[in-house]
Chains A and B, each alone.
Chain A
Amino acid sequence: MLRFIVRRLLLLIPVLWGLSVALFLWVRALPGSPAQALLGERATPEKIRQIEIALGLDQPLYVQYWRFLEKALRFDFGTSIQSSRPVVEEMGRRFPATIELGVTALLIAVLIGIPVGYFAARRHGTWLDQLSVSASLVGITIPVFFLAYMLRYVFANQLGWLPNTGRQEARMLDVEHPTGFYVLDAIVTGNGPALSDALLHLVLPAVTLATIPLAIIARITRAAVLDVLNEDYVRTAEAKGLTARTITRRHVLRNAMLPVSTTIGLQFGLLMSGAILTETAFAFEGVGKFVAQAIPSRDYATLQGFILVIAALFVLINLLVDISYGLIDPRVRVR
């Protein structure tokens, strides 16, 4: 097991290195230069040239890449054009926001998706089943940002129950953010109003972000439970006269968990894609929004740093998922 983990971690190195080269070349293939991005409307050719020299953009590509790599290894990704702050500092600010949002969304997806899928399977063929299947289909086909704006329209504009955008009510003044996870911050500092404010601001974005994973998890759970219900040992258990509850607990859920947990593990990429749209639609200052803005701003430093870290996280999470298979199902031999 340990050897497996070490080997997978070592395998991470070439993937990340390849990615760093690809990323480096990609940002330089984007049209428009960061010098122009810095100067905006007041740019002149002389000033652009002056900045390009100062930034070393006139150097050969391999020199630039080497300088980038050397610093990246020390976890120094340079300064963001968008905010004039070190990229690492921006990561410290944006990742907590996105993780908070993503974890909440995943919680919603799992906590609703699994029961819905389970009950749909138990009541296979009934209207309840049909309803859940159709609802999850709509959940997958509705464009994320369209859903976001509809939710904003109904719950913020029309009903006024929930805040429209952002992470915090603008008039909340005496709030400290030691960690950047607003919910956690409020709990740590014992700030009740800040806690409810942070939670309220999470509701609509988290529901939006949860929709697609929820639909997928519900569908997978339903299919997995249906498969297990058709297995001989469940029929045997039924024949033996075990109560439905015992059968559920002892056999059905546990055996259906494997495909479901695989699916949950695979939601990371989907969540990240969703986070780009969700954060943009809710002006939620997280990783997704920052990276999406970095592309038109030619924020090279941000793009390289953030995408590398996202990809590394992705690979690490996949590794964790693989390891967890072994824990859930001893039949899966980790090679």
Chain B
Amino acid sequence: MSLQVAESAIQQAEHADEAGGGLWREAFRRLVRKPAAIIGAIFVAIFVIVAVFAPLIAPYSPTATDLSQIKGPGHIPGPSSTHWLGLDDLGRDVFSRMIYGARQSLVVGVVSMAFGMVGGIILGLLAGGLGGWVDATIMRFVDMMLAIPGLLFAIGIAAMLGQSLVSVMIAIGVVNIPVFARLLRGQMLAQREADYALAAKSLGVKRSRIILGHVFPNSLSPVIVQGTLTLATAIIEAAGLAFLGLSGADPAIPEWGRMLADTQKFLTSAPQLVFYPGIAIVLSALGFTLLGESLREALDPKNRR
């Protein structure tokens, strides 16, 4: 008897999952009708295409210097027909550097987001899934991480790991771990109280199966939304760290945040060098943010009318 009932409870749970899948489909339908989402998607698409096809688009090497172009300190050649965005202070083609910079920035955004997301999911899953003292311990730990201002925390980690882009990405990732962990845990706690989970539980379905098979996947959508938003903040945070002197070892390798930080000294003499990476960062971050926000709204059951 109990077996039969259990079966039906599981079916019900699977039904809930289907509703989850349906939720995504429906969200997508709502998404394509939102202008903000379309704009965001376009920005992101351009960003990704440029990043992937950088070697095909860039007309020059992004790293080869040509000092013969520089007449003296402070001389920075502006845009011309051969160099669309001009040269930088070491005679490199700025357009090519911007194109290649998209690549590095995308890598920084994706890797640090992934690092934070995976770390956060592990902690959140343990806390939300096991509960009890595990939950309490993990959450105290998360609280302690959150008690240090994010940027300070990131500086601390990056400084400890040494000057490299990898340590920057790890630092940004670690700072985002508590955010993801909290989000997932909260969502899982709510889902555990959902009807289907309670029903399955009362029928003696194994806890691990309920949690891993149903509660966890149903709790993921806000985590994915947060991931999209984190792509934006990661790029901005990388720029902030670069400004404080923490970035990749080699300044010749173009990365927007680094370029923005390193060109501040030319603000009065050659402001264009500052504006290009600055605007590129704002637009790409805006793209991810618009997309993430629209996704959040589309997934919000309140907006399902």
Interface residue? A4 (CB, 8 A): no
Query: How long is the Cα–Cα vector from A270 to B175 in the complex, in angstroms?
Result: 13
Interface residue? A228 (CB, 8 A): no
Interface residue? B286 (CB, 8 A): yes
Q: Is B149 within 8 A of A143, CB to CB? A: no
Query: How long is the Cα–Cα vector from A146 to B232 in the complex, in angstroms?
Result: 16
Query: How long is the Cα–Cα vector from A204 to B30 in the complex, in angstroms?
Result: 41
Q: Is A273 within 8 A of B149, CB to CB? A: yes
A-B contact pairs, 15 of them (CB 8 A): A15-B140, A31-B162, A143-B236, A143-B260, A145-B240, A145-B264, A150-B278, A152-B267, A157-B267, A270-B150, A296-B245, A307-B148, A307-B152, A310-B149, A315-B147
Q: Is A277 within 8 A of B147, CB to CB? A: no
Interface residue? A291 (CB, 8 A): yes
Given contacts A141-B285, A141-B289, whether A292 and B144 have CB atoms under 8 Å apart is no
Specify which of B151, B257, B260, B264 is in contact with A273 (CB 8 Å cutoff).
B151
Q: What residues of B have a CB within 8 angstroms of the CB of A119 in the complex?
A: none
Q: Is A145 within 8 A of B261, CB to CB? A: yes
Query: How long is the Cα–Cα vector from A311 to B143 in the complex, in angstroms?
Result: 11
A-binding residues in B (CB < 8 A): 140, 143-144, 146-152, 155-156, 159-160, 162, 232, 236, 239-240, 243-245, 257, 260-261, 264, 267-268, 271, 274, 278, 281-282, 285-286, 289-290, 293
Q: What residues of A have a CB within 8 angstroms of the CB of B147 in the complex?
A: 15, 19, 311, 314-315
Closest chain B CB from A12 CB (angstroms): 10
Q: Is B144 within 8 A of A18, CB to CB? A: yes
Query: How long is the Cα–Cα vector from A143 to B258 in the complex, in angstroms?
Result: 12
Interface residue? A334 (CB, 8 A): no
Interface residue? A53 (CB, 8 A): no
Interface residue? A140 (CB, 8 A): yes
Interface residue? A51 (CB, 8 A): no
Interface size on A, residues (CB 8 A): 40
Counted as pairs of residues, one from A and one from B, with CB atoms less than 8 Å apart, the total is: 107
Specify which of A150, A153, A307, A315 is in contact with B268 (CB 8 Å cutoff).
A153
Specify which of A19, A30, A153, A274 is in contact with B267 (CB 8 Å cutoff).
A153
Q: What residues of A have a CB within 8 angstroms of the CB of B239 in the complex?
A: 143, 145-146
Q: What residues of B have a CB within 8 angstroms of the CB of A141 in the complex?
A: 232, 236, 281-282, 285-286, 289
Q: What residues of A have a CB within 8 angstroms of the CB of B245 in the complex?
A: 296
Q: Which residues in window 1-51 of A have CB below 8 A to B?
A: 15, 18-19, 22, 26, 29-31
Q: What residues of A have a CB within 8 angstroms of the CB of B146 in the complex?
A: 269
Q: Is A149 within 8 A of B264, CB to CB? A: yes
Q: What residues of A have a CB within 8 angstroms of the CB of B162 in the complex?
A: 31
Q: What residues of A have a CB within 8 angstroms of the CB of B261 in the complex?
A: 145
Closest chain B CB from A138 CB (angstroms): 7
Known: A15-B143, A150-B278, A276-B244. 9 other contacts (CB 8 A): A31-B160, A141-B289, A142-B278, A143-B278, A149-B274, A269-B150, A276-B149, A277-B151, A295-B155
| Chain B residue nearest to A22 in the complex (CB) | B144
Closest chain B CB from A199 CB (angstroms): 25
Q: What residues of B have a CB within 8 angstroms of the CB of A311 in the complex?
A: 147-148
Closest chain B CB from A8 CB (angstroms): 12
Q: What residues of A have a CB within 8 angstroms of the CB of B267 in the complex?
A: 149, 152-153, 157
Q: Is A272 within 8 A of B149, CB to CB? A: yes
Closest chain B CB from A182 CB (angstroms): 23
Query: How long is the Cα–Cα vector from A153 to B264 in the complex, in angstroms?
Result: 10
Specify which of B155, B160, B240 is in contact with A143 (CB 8 Å cutoff).
B240
Q: Is A276 within 8 A of B289, CB to CB? A: no
Interface residue? A237 (CB, 8 A): no
Q: Is B159 within 8 A of A19, CB to CB? A: no
Interface residue? A81 (CB, 8 A): no
Q: Is B155 within 8 A of A138, CB to CB? A: no
Interface residue? A221 (CB, 8 A): no
Closest chain A CB from B16 CB (angstroms): 27
Query: How long is the Cα–Cα vector from A272 to B147 in the complex, in angstroms?
Result: 11
Interface residue? A137 (CB, 8 A): yes
Q: Is B244 within 8 A of A277, CB to CB? A: yes
Q: What residues of B have a CB within 8 angstroms of the CB of A150 in the complex?
A: 278
Q: Which residues in window 67-121 of A have CB below 8 A to B?
A: none
Q: What residues of B have a CB within 8 angstroms of the CB of A274 in the complex?
A: 151
The 6 closest A-B pairs by CB, nearest first: A273-B151, A272-B149, A141-B285, A143-B239, A273-B149, A146-B278
Q: What residues of B have a CB within 8 angstroms of the CB of A137 in the complex?
A: 286, 289-290, 293
Interface residue? A280 (CB, 8 A): yes
Query: How long is the Cα–Cα vector from A143 to B242 in the complex, in angstroms?
Result: 11
Interface residue? A144 (CB, 8 A): yes
Q: Is B155 within 8 A of A26, CB to CB? A: no
Query: How long is the Cα–Cα vector from A29 to B167 in the complex, in angstroms?
Result: 14
For A130-141 the 0/1 string (1 means CB < 8 A from B) is: 000000011011
Query: How long is the Cα–Cα vector from A30 to B260 in the complex, in angstroms?
Result: 27
Specify which of A138, A143, A280 is in contact with B286 (CB 8 Å cutoff).
A138
| Chain B residue nearest to A29 in the complex (CB) | B160
Q: What residues of B have a CB within 8 angstroms of the CB of A280 in the complex?
A: 243-244
Given contacts A26-B160, A31-B162, whether A146 and B152 have CB atoms under 8 Å apart is no
Q: What residues of B have a CB within 8 angstroms of the CB of A314 in the complex?
A: 147-149
